Amino acid sequence: MEKSSQSQGIDSMLSFPLMEALLGRRSRRFFMGAEIPDGVFAHRSNKKPLPLTDLEKMLVVSACGGNTSWHHLIYRAERYAPHLSNYAGAAGGRVFPSAAGFHTSQTFFTDDDGLYLLDMRDAPAFADRADDGRLDLESFVENVRKRVKKLQDGRLQFPSEVPYTEAHNTWVFNKPSTLVVVPVGDLAQHVLLNICYMLQNGLVLFDDINKRAIPGIDRFRDIVDTASVWPLTFVEQWSLSELTVELGTSCYAGVLMLQAMGLGGWMFNGIDPFAMLGASGKPEVPGLGFRFDQDERWPYPNPTGLAGVMEGFCPPHYPDMRAAVDALFERKFGPGGPFHPDTPGPWQDSRTVRSAALAHDERFRECVALQAQYVYDTFGKFPGTVPSMFLIMYLQAHHLDLDFYDKFYKPGSYLRSHARHTAHWHPQG
């Protein structure tokens, strides 16, 4: 990690109190080079835009999506004890929580140089923890750097204007010199994992929109009480809520890092999510470039994935939902997965722990696939009532123009880390 000219900044970041970050968090939008042309806060910066250095960028991105060694898993479930709970989708943990360890999101980010993916969802632990529980910061950040994939040169092509960006952020969002982090969730995969979770806990889907049971579900009465149901709309909305927490806490972790580093920025939504994913329908607004489909039954286009980068666990990226189910189970039980005996872990005897989880048998796979395929066939997509790919929260990081805050605010509008940022992180600038 390039500490030479920024070592004082790193030292001050490492010693920054958690409580000061929590209590001092604010959205601080006015960056070097920004302008508010009118109104009570009319101000034009007399400073040149200052992009984040590579180290600053990697620290922020690491805070939003870095690997934090091994996921600890869930220890026990009443219905199939003494076997280990086998809900999780990934063996590695990240800086944010994920429902039952599903980990169905990936982290995209952009700056003046390009659009990138931090491909960390299925990454193994970069290191074991020290005896006191610590991880080495330099190794943590370098692991992130190694897993960054550049997708295109130049900043993400997305307009800072209505209707793509809500009116209150058109002057500040995705401007030159800023870093924008965009966590994206595979909601198709998340719903599949919840169908597995339901089945393990004695429940199957019921189509509450068309008021009918899943055709053929009764033939699985040997493994589940098919009269015990969860409504389809509830399961999909529940999955959407769980995934929202994953995406939001990713950005919030980044916000806390901004306070410690003395960077400006904030977490927000208010961006057209379909256009951001690539479904604007306009070549000049490609967004992230995901494939999308349209159907007269749907109120919005449905993005499903970016080929070779982040493909949803649903058609057209899989020929049918049974193939998507098999791919999901390979993620969980195959090499590197959380329930493969050869995957290392944090326990004294990791092989014994990981081997204690039962792999889903053929009957279980058939039952999950039947339900998922019914949804796809009935609604023309999977999931049926929510998007296959989902995003909601963003993080932007930039260098503050403190003159703006000194002009309009009482003392205390920014933290000591902001006041000292230039001296600590850019001593030559």
Percent of the chain with pLDDT over 70: 99
Confidence category of residue 21, pLDDT binned at 50, 70, 90: very high
Q: How far is the C-alpha of 286 from the C-alpha of 158, rounded, in Å? A: 7
Length of the chain in residues, anyone?
429
What integer is the mean pLDDT of 323-348? 98
- Residue pair 83/53 in contact by the 8 Å Cβ criterion: no
State pLDDT tens for residues 378-406: 999 999 999 999 999 999 999 999 999 99
- Angle (nearest 5°) at CA 372 between 370 and 374: 70
What integer is the mean pLDDT of 199-219? 97
Percent of the chain with pLDDT over 90: 96
- Residue pair 329/365 in contact by the 8 Å Cβ criterion: yes
State pLDDT tens for residues 74-109: 998 888 889 999 999 999 999 999 999 999 999 999
- Residue pair 368/195 in contact by the 8 Å Cβ criterion: yes
- Residue pair 77/356 in contact by the 8 Å Cβ criterion: no
| Domain locations in the chain as residue ranges | 4-425
Say what the pLDDT of residue 400 is.
Answer: 98
Say what the pLDDT of residue 5 is.
Answer: 73
Say what the pLDDT of residue 2 is.
Answer: 55
Tell me the CA end-to-end span of the chain in Å, nearest whole number. 20
Please count the other Cβ atoms lying within 10 Å of the Cβ belonging to residue 246.
21
Enclosing H/E stretch for 421? helix 421-425
Please count the other Cβ atoms lying within 10 Å of the Cβ belonging to residue 327.
16
Cis peptide preceding 163, ω within 30 of 0? yes
Say what the pLDDT of residue 385 is.
Answer: 97
Q: How far is the C-alpha of 131 from the C-alpha of 269, rounded, in Å? A: 40
Q: Is the pLDDT of residue 361 over 70?
A: yes
What integer is the mean pLDDT of 190-203? 97
- Angle (nearest 5°) at CA 118 between 327 and 238: 55
Confidence category of residue 193, pLDDT binned at 50, 70, 90: very high
Q: How far is CA 94 from CA 62, 98, 122, 297, in A?
A: 9, 9, 10, 37
- Residue pair 217/204 in contact by the 8 Å Cβ criterion: yes
Q: Residue 13, SS3?
A: helix
Pick the CATH number of 4-425 from 3.40.109.10, 1.10.287.610, 3.20.20.70, 1.10.3720.10: 3.40.109.10
Look-up: residue for tokens 């880390």? 417
- Residue pair 369/377 in contact by the 8 Å Cβ criterion: no
Q: Is the pLDDT of residue 234 over 80?
A: yes
Confidence category of residue 6, pLDDT binned at 50, 70, 90: confident
Q: Where are the alpha helices (DSSP H) in 201-289?
A: 232-261, 273-277
Q: Residue 351, SS3?
A: helix
Q: How far is the C-alpha of 323 from the C-alpha of 20, rounded, in Å? A: 49
Cβ neighbors of 275 (< 8 A, separation 6 or more) are: 158, 164, 285, 287
Enclosing H/E stretch for 22? helix 18-24
DSSP conformation letters of 141-206? HHHHHHTEEEEEESS----SSTTTB-GGGTTTTT-TT-EEEEEEEEHHHHHHHHHHHHHHTT-EEE
Q: How far is CA 89 from CA 249, 332, 357, in A?
A: 18, 5, 13
- Residue pair 399/31 in contact by the 8 Å Cβ criterion: yes
pLDDT, mean over the chain: 96
* Amino acid (1-letter code) at residue 82: P
Say what the pLDDT of residue 273 is.
Answer: 97
Q: Is the pLDDT of residue 3 over 60?
A: no
What integer is the mean pLDDT of 299-306? 97
373: its two tokens:
């395929």
What integer is the mean pLDDT of 197-220? 97
What integer is the mean pLDDT of 150-175? 97
Tell me how far the alpha carbon of residue 285 is from its chain's centroid.
Answer: 22
